[in-house]
Amino acid sequence: MYKQLLLPALLVLLAFMGMAQNRAEIKGKIIDSADKKPVEIVTVAVLHAKDTTAAALIAYAQTDKDGLFNVRNLPSAVPLKAVISFVGFRPYVKFFTLIKGQTLNMGTIEMAPKLLNEVTITAERMPITIRKDTIEFDAGAFKTKPNAVAEDLLKKLPGVEVDNSGKITVMGKDVSKILVDGKEFFSSDLRIASKNLDADLISKVQVYDDRENDPNHLIPDNEVNKIINLKFKKALKKSLFGKMYAGAGTQDHYQTGGLFNMFKDTLQVSALGYTNNLNSTGFDFNDLYTNGGGNRDGGAFSRSGIGFNFGGGNGRQTATSTGININTDYGKKFKVNLSYLYRHTNSAYNTITNQQQFLKDTTVITGSASDRMTLSDNHLISGSLTWKPDDATQLRYTPNATIASGSSSNANGSNSYSNFVNPINNSLNSSNSSNSSASFSQSLNYNHQLDKKGSSWGIDHNLNINPGYKNNSYDNQNLTSYVGALPSYLLKRFADNLSKSSSGTVSANYRKQVIEKKLNIDVSGGVDYNNSLDKASTYDYNPITGEYDSFVLMLSSDLNRISWKETINPGFTYNISQKTSIVGHLSTQWQQVTNIFQRGYNDIKQQFFFLTPNVSLRLNHISIGYSRNANIPNIGDMIPYSIVYSPQSSVTGNPDLKPAVSNRFTVSYNNYNYQKGLSFNLSGSYNFDENSIFRQRTINSQLVETSMPINRDGRYGLSTYAYLSKQVKKTKELQLSISANVNLSQNHDFFVINRQDGFQNSYRASFSPRVSLNYKDIVQFDPYYSISQVYTRYTGVAYNAQSNLTHSGGAHFMLYFPAKFNLEGNYTYQFNPQVAPGYQKSSNLLNLNLAHQFLAKDHGEIKLSCYDILNQNISNYRYVGANTITDTQSQIIKRYFMLTFQYRFNKSTVKGDEKPAPRPSGSMPIIIRY
């Protein structure tokens, strides 16, 4: 299997090694002119000397603890300048020109501290400034095209990567959210900000660690995500901006939507909405952040379980969404956020499925086709209140409320046969259901720093209330059997289901430094309460009364679980050195659970005690950890009776189930080299379970199946992941980067069918290289390729081994032409040769957009889009598990054309004399003393 991956991996390795680069570099040492001591974390930026706007940052570096710096891969025969800056010191500028292969030693540079009565007017525009854990980029130092959005600006910043889906990483770490002037901007999806806010609104881009839920820094640095804060220009803090679009296409396709923003001092109001029938559901806002349509490739290769899914999205969906987000400050200490989101979807699905089941010498094949319609309405109200009375104290309250309703109808037909009996049976089934739900949740977090040494205490509270989820369904099952062992039957049933739950937690934590800069101890304790109710009432159709009034006890239930959990979690952090530490915690848990089954069965009361350690060793960029968790069985698996759904299907509970325990070992390495533009991530994990809960099954050749959950040891899995990204070239004209990732995994699982133990070993390997090229902002080309191999082997049973090799590849490209025309395209190729006969094995999905910008400042755009121009889009899925292989193919949207008009608007509401003065020109700082 791994031989299949060797050639493409070797080609990418040679590409990394063979890229020609200039080897010129500079190095030196920074000291304080006053005490002659080294200065750490000083920013050394190298720019083109003739570019007074600093529009092209070439490279930058930081000094280490000895004050040393080294900036590599600098161009030769080009006038350059090094700009050295640090908070509290006067900037230093040096001009130079390098020859290829030269290492320019700038020697020891003495930086003079600023005087208290000194004002510095800096004409030199610093493209990057580093203050402790915050990196700040000057947006004006990175040139973008006139109608660029925030994402285009982020792509220019060193260490920042944005993939085709809009996912953003900084120095190899994921970005968890984007803030606007420190405030949340539709935090449900950071792409709303990155793909809709104009780049020319932004003054600074700040990047820092996401420690909002980790104030005591217990999470290792190399595992912490990043936050991007977009700081707007001062003149635009009072402005109206946004965009509107509308489009119409062939086959009655349409879309319309808009985004409106009003910023006024500390008040931010944003509203958005859209409606379309292009399979854009939820708040992904694809129609908003693709400038009004066309970029609907949906062809990303994904895997779930031991399966493969490729194509352009299931079903045909019509969606309408709207939302509003409000941020405001009351003074400098109190911040308020409020948002409301509404979503309506109407979906249609047409699916065909082919399933093979292996039972010793018998292979049973079932083919089915289904049509399903769904309607849903969802309302979400959320907010946050943040109070910071001082630098040491923060109180945050976050409430959320949801109201949802929906309905669905489904029609399904199937037929089954085996290698011995043809046919076995066929069936016609239909169902109609409706549902409604409401929920409320809140969290309250208080944290207070006791001193500057890291001592702190805090209180956390969470509450979840679900007063009721109701689901009513009508089901008709009509099975015609052709074997004597299974009679034909007709079932007409009505089910009335109700679920309720409430849960709450209260916890407190304390942390104290006991040995300065060496040892911190912490302890937390809390109480959890949970009460859940699941009630199902089932009725058969009564032909005499014509009503569903025949109560079916064996299909009805009234389950109630009440649980309490008390936790004490002591821990420590020991710093062996500045970059090496050990963190350990030992969680002690007591649980009291009452399971109420009704129907005359005795309640089951349980008490559990768990010790769950969590230990990690942090070695600079390396983190090694172990964790243990326990989960009690679901009450639905513990029922002391059987449920017979039909003559073909029944389940039996197991009151003797034990809690499942999982153990996980992890190791990770994360490093980003500023000078080389090189990001490397490596991670691995090994997990094994104790008392895993799974269902043992009995099934005969007539497809009559029963199951019961049991405990079993022996489930384990290993995985490793590696990612490498290299910025090969970055000049004013050309930006070239390449990346690749490798996934390897093994999973050992088990199953019991007809009292025969079987073991399933699955091995996976995938390799995915990618290239990103930008030339003068005229050509953007991002090709990629992925190959994946899965091999499944069985022991204990006479099942044939399964092998699945899939390929996917494609490219995103953008071409900018004169007269403000641009062509954008997305191409995706998928190939899966192992699908069942009659299923499409490959697809070529090509989307093209031709756009023209016009009106003042290119605020108007008209776009002609073609989705699936080759008319080959499909949605296929293959799943391999236990004794089954299942292939599914779904109907989806295919080729259509669409014409869209979009208008961007941006109006400042400040008065003329409020606008900031222009920056002075020149290249050296001016010092004024008074």
Which has the higher per-residue pLDDT, 573 or 12? 573
Residues 6 or more apart whose CB falls under 8 angstroms from that of 822 comprise 814, 815, 816, 850, 851, 852, 853
Judged against a pLDDT cut of 60, whether residue 170 lies above it is answered with: yes
Closest CA to 404 of 440, 431, 458: 440
Residues 6 or more apart whose CB falls under 8 angstroms from that of 410 comprise 370, 371, 372, 373, 429, 430, 431, 432
Contact 268, 837 (CB under 8 A): no
43-48 and 118-121 strand pairing: unpaired
- Nearest-angstrom CA–CA distance, 581 and 573: 7
Judged against a pLDDT cut of 70, whether residue 288 lies above it is answered with: no
Which has the higher per-residue pLDDT, 837 or 480? 480
- Phi and psi for 673 in degrees, rounded to 5? -100, 110
Residue 620's pLDDT band (cuts 50, 70, 90): confident
What percent of the chain is predicted at pLDDT more than 70?
87
- Phi and psi for 254 in degrees, rounded to 5? -155, 165
pLDDT computed for residue 909 by the predictor: 62
Which has the higher per-residue pLDDT, 202 or 874? 202
pLDDT computed for residue 199 by the predictor: 84
Q: Tell me the mean pLDDT in the region 306-312.
A: 39
Q: Tell me the mean pLDDT in the region 128-134.
A: 76
DSSP string, 379-426: EEEEEEEEEEEETTEEEEEEEEEEEEEEEEEEEEEEEEEESS-S--EE
Contact 613, 605 (CB under 8 A): no
Q: Tell me the mean pLDDT in the region 495-523.
A: 93
pLDDT computed for residue 916 by the predictor: 40
Dihedral sign for Cα 304, 644, 543, 545, please: negative
- Phi and psi for 355 in degrees, rounded to 5? -120, 135
pLDDT computed for residue 913 by the predictor: 41
Which has the higher per-residue pLDDT, 171 or 791? 791
Q: Tell me the mean pLDDT in the region 491-520.
A: 92
Judged against a pLDDT cut of 70, whether residue 187 lies above it is answered with: no
- Nearest-angstrom CA–CA distance, 834 and 804: 6
Q: How far is CA 287 from CA 296, 576, 748, in A?
A: 9, 51, 42
SS (H, E, C) 706-763: EEEEEEECCCEEEEEEEEEEEEEEECCCEEEEEEEEEEEEEEEEEEEECCEEEEEEEE
Residue 121's pLDDT band (cuts 50, 70, 90): very low
Residue 88's pLDDT band (cuts 50, 70, 90): confident
Rg, C-alpha atoms of the chain: 31
**Both tokens of residue 336?**
């308020």
3-state secondary structure of 694: strand
Judged against a pLDDT cut of 90, whether residue 602 lies above it is answered with: yes
Judged against a pLDDT cut of 90, whether residue 509 lies above it is answered with: yes
Burial 403-442, CB ≥16 within 10 A → b, else e? ebebbbebebebbbbbeeeeebbbbebbbbbebebbbbbb
pLDDT computed for residue 717 by the predictor: 96
Q: Tell me the mean pLDDT in the region 15-44.
A: 76
pLDDT computed for residue 731 by the predictor: 67
Judged against a pLDDT cut of 80, whether residue 305 lies above it is answered with: no
pLDDT computed for residue 71 by the predictor: 86
Residues 6 or more apart whose CB falls under 8 angstroms from that of 190 comprise 166, 168, 175, 176, 177, 178, 228
H or E segment and range at residue 12:
helix 3-18
Residue 124's pLDDT band (cuts 50, 70, 90): low
pLDDT computed for residue 216 by the predictor: 67
Judged against a pLDDT cut of 50, whether residue 466 lies above it is answered with: yes
- Nearest-angstrom CA–CA distance, 178 and 193: 7
pLDDT in tens, 898-928: 999 999 887 876 554 444 434 333 333 333 3
**Both tokens of residue 621?**
């960029």
pLDDT in tens, 327-353: 999 988 999 999 998 999 998 888 888
- Nearest-angstrom CA–CA distance, 78 and 96: 9
Instruction: Write down the residue that tokens 């920042």 correspond to.
Output: 160
pLDDT in tens, 193-241: 887 788 888 889 999 888 877 776 667 666 788 889 998 887 767 788 8
3-state secondary structure of 893: coil
Within 10 angstroms of residue 92's Cβ, the number of other Cβ atoms is 19
Judged against a pLDDT cut of 90, whether residue 523 lies above it is answered with: yes
Residue 858's pLDDT band (cuts 50, 70, 90): confident
Which has the higher per-residue pLDDT, 480 or 196? 480
Dihedral sign for Cα 684, 690, 694, 697, please: positive
705-712 and 649-652 strand pairing: parallel
Q: How far is CA 243 from CA 49, 107, 850, in A?
A: 38, 53, 19
Indicate the range of 29-38, 80-89, 162-171 predicted with least confidence: 162-171
Judged against a pLDDT cut of 70, whether residue 272 lies above it is answered with: yes
Within 10 angstroms of residue 378's Cβ, the number of other Cβ atoms is 17
Residues 6 or more apart whose CB falls under 8 angstroms from that of 350 comprise 315, 369, 370, 371, 890, 891
**Identity (one letter) of the amino acid at 867?**
Y
**Identity (one letter) of the amino acid at 366?**
T
Contact 865, 286 (CB under 8 A): no
Judged against a pLDDT cut of 50, whether residue 694 lies above it is answered with: yes
Residue 312's pLDDT band (cuts 50, 70, 90): very low
Contact 834, 804 (CB under 8 A): yes
Indicate the range of 613-617, 753-757, 825-829, 898-902 predicted with least confidence: 753-757
Domains of the chain: 24-127 (2.60.40.10)
3-state secondary structure of 859: coil
Indicate the range of 402-411, 453-462, 751-760 predicted with least confidence: 751-760
Is the backbone of residue 599 left (phi > 0), alpha (psi -120 to 50) or beta? Answer: left
**Both tokens of residue 596?**
């109420």
3-state secondary structure of 824: strand
Contact 664, 719 (CB under 8 A): no
Residue 394's pLDDT band (cuts 50, 70, 90): very high
pLDDT computed for residue 914 by the predictor: 43
Q: Tell me the mean pLDDT in the region 315-319.
A: 83
Contact 294, 279 (CB under 8 A): no
DSSP string, 487-515: --EEEEEEEEEEEEEEEEEEEEEEEEEEE
Indicate the range of 156-165, 479-488, 615-624, 708-717 predicted with least confidence: 156-165
How many whole angstroms from its chain centre is CA 231?
24
Closest CA to 64 of 676, 680, 679, 673: 673
Q: Tell me the mean pLDDT in the region 737-742.
A: 90
Judged against a pLDDT cut of 80, whether residue 364 lies above it is answered with: yes
Whole-angstrom distance between the N-terminal and C-terminal Cα of the chain? 75
What percent of the chain is predicted at pLDDT more than 90?
36
Instruction: Write down the residue that tokens 């109907």 correspond to.
Output: 891
Q: How far is CA 425 from CA 413, 417, 887, in A?
A: 11, 7, 20
∠ Cα 340 345 347 (to 5°)? 160
pLDDT in tens, 428-446: 988 899 999 999 999 999 9
3-state secondary structure of 481: strand
- Nearest-angstrom CA–CA distance, 151 and 149: 5
Which letter does DSSP use for residue 648 in this model? T
Is residue 819 classed exposed, middle or buried when 0-12, 13-18 and 19+ CB atoms within 10 A define those classes?
Answer: exposed
Mean pLDDT estimate for the chain: 83
Contact 199, 232 (CB under 8 A): no
Q: Tell me the mean pLDDT in the region 838-852.
A: 86
Closest CA to 584 of 616, 626, 618: 616
Q: How far is CA 796 from CA 443, 690, 804, in A?
A: 50, 21, 22
Which has the higher per-residue pLDDT, 595 or 293? 595
Cis geometry, peptide bond prior to residue 423 (ω within 30 degrees of 0):
yes
∠ Cα 827 816 292 (to 5°)? 65
**Both tokens of residue 542?**
């009564």
**Both tokens of residue 373?**
């319609």
pLDDT computed for residue 859 by the predictor: 87
- Nearest-angstrom CA–CA distance, 623 and 617: 6
Cα atoms in the 13 Å half-sphere on the side-chain side of 60: 24
How many whole angstroms from its chain centre is CA 67?
38
Judged against a pLDDT cut of 70, whether residue 49 lies above it is answered with: yes
pLDDT computed for residue 172 by the predictor: 73
∠ Cα 315 865 772 (to 5°)? 95
